[in-house]
Structure 1
Amino acid sequence: MTVQSIDGPARPVTVLGLGRMGTALAGALLAAGHPTTVWNRDPARVAAPVARGAVAADTVGDAILASPLVLVTVTDYRAVHEVLGASAASLTGRTVVNLATGTPEEVRAVAERVAAAGADYLDGAMMALPQTVATPEAFFLYSGSRHAFDAHRTTLDVLATSHFLDRDPAVAELWDLALLGSGYAVLAGFLHSLALLHTAQVPPTAFVPLVTRWLHGMLAFMPELAEEVEFRSYGAGVSPVALNRVAVGNLVRTSTLRGVDAEVHAPLRALLDRRTADGHGTDSFASLFELLKPVRSG
């Protein structure tokens, strides 16, 4: 079925929650010409969006009734339930886009509550920083009501490039956590590297050009690793477990000798030790997936 968009250049939007991200979203909507209604628990936070043309609602219910599209950008899922629970009667016929960070289980609970109130639900994961909202660097992930996504796609694209993943509302949050996991691992490794180089008085900014180049190479290696995992074919990998076990062991020992906490690399060292002990030292680095996957999965 083809869904005709209900978007338009002046389509009203409501933003509930005006932290740094909520304020950035409201600013992007206002810049794109959308009448924007805002609400925040602390009334002082509405001043900046109002100065740019937003309308401040006195209550959550008033804010919801002002727009067919409601963006929820509060801190956590407890706050989501508090905000929406007090105004459930106002939700009927509207689309709620929940942009709070939580777990897939928390997403399902909110989705059921919104559906019971007669509203469409989209879960959104914001892969962006406040300063990158409405720039090509930002992208948001969505799952839930496909009808709602198609109907409001033009408006959502004002905030960031939009990607619809699945009709299961919990899927976007699962992807969000997976992407965060990869990102946090890189950032933690980067900070450890800075600490290691600090022992030789290397300024952090001096490290950036070469580590950036090195990480670009790592990114280029990911498709090969993904293919090995997808086909469970680890015999021809160019980066075997045993070789990486030696490298990570050297990294940990050198760090320890220089007084640098190497705990960030301890889990990887343990996985490499286990894979080697299991007789898979010649398998590709990608074979560590076999230790990480759920025991009952294929």
Structure 2
Amino acid sequence: MGSALAGAFLDGGQRTTVWNRTPGRADPLVAKGAVVAASAEEAVASSDLVVVNVKGNDAARSILASAGSLVGRVVVNLSDGTSGEAREVASWAAERGAEYVHGQIMTIAPAIGHADSVVFYGGDEGAFNRHRAELLLLGGRGTFLGDDAGAPALFGLAMNGTMWGTLNGFLHAAALLSSQGVEVKRFVEAASASLTGLLGYLPSLAEEVDRGEYAVPFGALKHHLPAADDLVRESRERGIDVEFPSYTLGLVRAAVEGGHGDDSYSRLVEVFRSGSTTS
């Protein structure tokens, strides 16, 4: 990922100094015009904009701590981690005179630099705006979320949770279909309108959650309960893992037994917030 980021800056005509903890790892970038620094301190001293991308915020802070003075530097940390960790690094960097922006990359390395690639940013707005042009070289859909340095990580993890939940549901369905000799692509073709409609349903769910109002005239939770139970039984009969649908059944049952059977599916957010479910 680090090489892809540096490559995007170079492709955008930016003078770029690179440093890697593994000697020689950054050498291929020289052919594209990069200058290889001998140390993190040398790299930081070479530019007002310092971009860090390593595995974890502890590693990022350790490298920055070894890099000498950060006074007057804009530090853009693109390392993965939690929102709390990002805020801690932001405070740490501010104490050392740096302007801090945290970023969360939402694409794979080969897509870095593409017009449709998404990177979430948060932190010092002035610093972000001064370097907006450079940062948009990493992904044309770079989005500044506000002054909370933890927001990018939070948005990224929320997206990952949505992605994994969707993919896991689909792959469980694929296992169920193939257990009866059905080609999965046939299902996708037949259910394409329903799958598209499912994505279109998310804005309505979001509004209900934000308002905290879950009452609906149709699509009540109580109608999901027997269908969820059917999925568990079908999975069991076909020898397919039942943990995934059983978890969903537990969520729905908890809400219905809590007196919310007539509410929208969005009511399940309160089950998640309670921190406890049954299956």
Scaled by the length of structure 1, the TM-score of the pair is 0.85
Q: Is the 8 A contact 1:80 1:100 kept in 2?
A: yes
Say if 2:106 and 2:120, in contact at 8 Å, map to a contact too: yes
| Residue 144 of structure 1, aligned match among 120, 123, 126 | 123
In structure 2, the residue matched to 1:13 is: none
Task: Report how far residue 206 of structure 1 moved.
Answer: 4.8
Q: Which runs of 5+ in 2 are unaligned?
A: none
Q: C-alpha separation between the residues in 2 aligned to 1:235 and 1:180?
A: 28
Please tell me whether the aligned partners of residues 214 and 264 of structure 2 are also in contact (alpha carbons under 8 angstroms).
yes
* Conserved 8 A contact 1:192-1:262: no
1:225 aligns with 2:205: yes
Give the SS at the match of 1:159.
coil
Paired residue for 1:162? 142
**CA-CA distance at 1:205 after TM superposition:** 4.8
2:159 corresponds to 1:179: yes
Structure 1: tracts of 5 or more residues without a match:
1-20
Taking the TM superposition and a 5 Å limit, the aligned residue runs for 1:245-256 are: 245-256=225-236
Structure 1 residue 194 corresponds to structure 2 residue 177: no
- SS state of the match for residue 129, structure 2? helix
Query: Could you list the per-position Cα deviations for residues 136-176 of structure 1 after superposition, in whole angstroms to 9, with x for gaps in the alignment?
Result: 33111111101101110111111112211121211222222
Q: How far off its partner does 1:33 sit?
A: 0.7
Q: Which residue of 1 aligns with 2:21?
A: 41
Which residue matches 1:104? 83
Matches within 5 A, 1:267-278: 267-278=247-258
Q: Is the 8 A contact 2:117 2:142 kept in 1?
A: no
What CA distance in whole angstroms lies between the structure 1 residues aligned with 2:271 and 2:73? 44
Name the CA shift for 1:207/1:85 in 2 (closer, same or farther; >3 Å). farther
1:242 and 2:218 are equivalent in the alignment: no
Q: Pick the aligned partner of 2:246 from 263, 266, 273.
A: 266
Spell out the pairing of 1:44-83 with structure 2 (5 A cutoff). 44-83=24-63
Give the secondary structure class of the aligned counterpart of 2:131. Answer: helix
How many aligned positions are there? 274
The 1:206/1:54 distance shift into structure 2, 3 A limit, reads: farther
Task: State the secondary structure of the residue aligned to 2:142.
Answer: strand
User: Residue 145 of structure 2 aligns to a residue in which SS?
Assistant: strand
Percent identity for Structure 1 against Structure 2:
38
Higher relative contact order (CA 8 A, sep 6+): 1
Report Cα offsets for 1:244-274 as digits up to 9, x if no partner.
2222221121112111113223332111001
| C-alpha contact (below 8 Å) 1:141/1:164 kept by paired residues | yes
1:167-205 deviations in Å (ceiling 9; x for gaps): 121122222221211111111112212222221234455
Cα drift, residue 227 of structure 1: 2.0
| Structure 1 residues 200 and 294: CA distance shift in structure 2, 3 A | closer
Residue 293 of structure 1 pairs with residue 273 of structure 2: yes
**Where do 4+ consecutive residues of structure 1 move more than 6 Å?**
none
Aligned to 2:260, the other structure's residue is in SS state coil
Q: Which position in structure 1 is the counterpart of 2:109? A: 130
Q: What CA deviation, in whole Å up to 9, does each residue of 1:88-132 have, x standing for no partner?
A: x23221111111111122112211221122111001111111122
> What are the superposed Cα offsets for residues 56-80 of structure 1, whole Å, 9 maximum, x if unpaired?
1111111111111111110112211
Aligned to 1:26: 6
Letter in structure 2 aligned against 1:116: E
Q: Is the 8 A contact 1:128 1:137 kept in 2?
A: no
Task: Provide the TM-score with structure 2 as the length reference.
Answer: 0.91
Q: Structure 2 counterpart of 1:225, which letter?
A: L
1:285 Cα deviation after fit: 0.7
